[in-house]
Copies of this chain bind each other. A is one copy, B any other.
């Protein structure tokens, strides 16, 4: 029986189909496309490889699975013990496909906050044409702290640098080195000392035990008066009640959240009424940008070469670490 690759990607088109079939054939694999996870559950028993937006149920039922390449960057849901039938199954992700689109989102919402764009949208919506008192702010001269200096944080820093910020500091779990786009790279141990010297805090962290609630009420109070917070990682990283309080009191000048708890956010959730909070429905890094789709396919094909050659995966995830 031919070895099989199962593919579940919601952006499938003829072009991607051809690319995947061609690569599969090269390595002796049949490629089977499922329209969604539901139709794959119980029907992917023979798949040695799965690629795409698979649900946990698909993974848990895939008895022959040796490698799952996930289309998302955040794979915390696939890191719990006992999920995979074969405990040695490899896991890789598409971290690296999202930096470009999420960094554009980050620059956009940072400028929207600094320039008070949501208030101007409101003025125009009401038929007005006036200038707000109290001024606006700029990325130029701002002190920026990027919590999570991986692909997303680095791509953001590269773009932010062109605006002439005063300083961009990357914060990583342990390593003190990083991309030259950062003026400085610190470890999480130094975060508390950094916060009072931060005008804009950008959070791009995976969901792990170490990142849950990392921005709590205590750390928000440490942030400089009038600072801004942006989160594109996982909603669990922010104490949402504390954020609402810090915004409503004016200690924070604004925030932008693309990720929240829970998602979808209920229509009557208190976050929707917080002052100067710019919400987006988890779209910073979704697969609606063609570049992100192609990059994700490319990364899978690159690792398919590695896998079939018995080499380590370039985009492997350490399941014990969670990213």
Contact = CB atoms under 8 A, between A and B. Distances in A.
Interface of A: 100-101, 104-105, 107-108, 111-112, 114-115, 117-118, 120-121, 123-124, 127-132, 134-141, 158-159, 161-164, 263-265, 267-268, 272, 279-283, 286, 288-291
Nearest 7 interchain pairs by C-beta = A127-B267, A129-B264, A162-B162, A108-B111, A135-B288, A129-B281, A159-B162
A267 B105 CA distance: 31
B108 A272 contact: no
Contacts of A267: 127-128
Given A105-B115, A289-B135, A128 B161 contact: no
Given A107-B108, A159-B163, 4 more contacts: A104-B115, A104-B138, A130-B264, A138-B291
A15 to B, nearest CB: 14
Contact of A136 (B124, B164, B268, B288): B288
26 contacts: A104-B138, A104-B140, A105-B111, A105-B115, A107-B108, A108-B108, A108-B112, A108-B117, A118-B121, A120-B283, A123-B281, A124-B280, A128-B281, A129-B263, A129-B281, A130-B264, A130-B281, A131-B281, A131-B286, A132-B283, A135-B289, A135-B290, A136-B283, A137-B289, A138-B291, A140-B291
A104 B111 contact: yes
Nearest to A284: B115
Contacts of A123: 281
A164 B289 CA distance: 15
A124 B164 CA distance: 32
A271 to B, nearest CB: 10
Contacts of A105: 111, 115
A159 B112 CA distance: 16
A138 B289 contact: yes
Nearest to A130: B281
A237 B305 CA distance: 54
Contacts of A134: 288
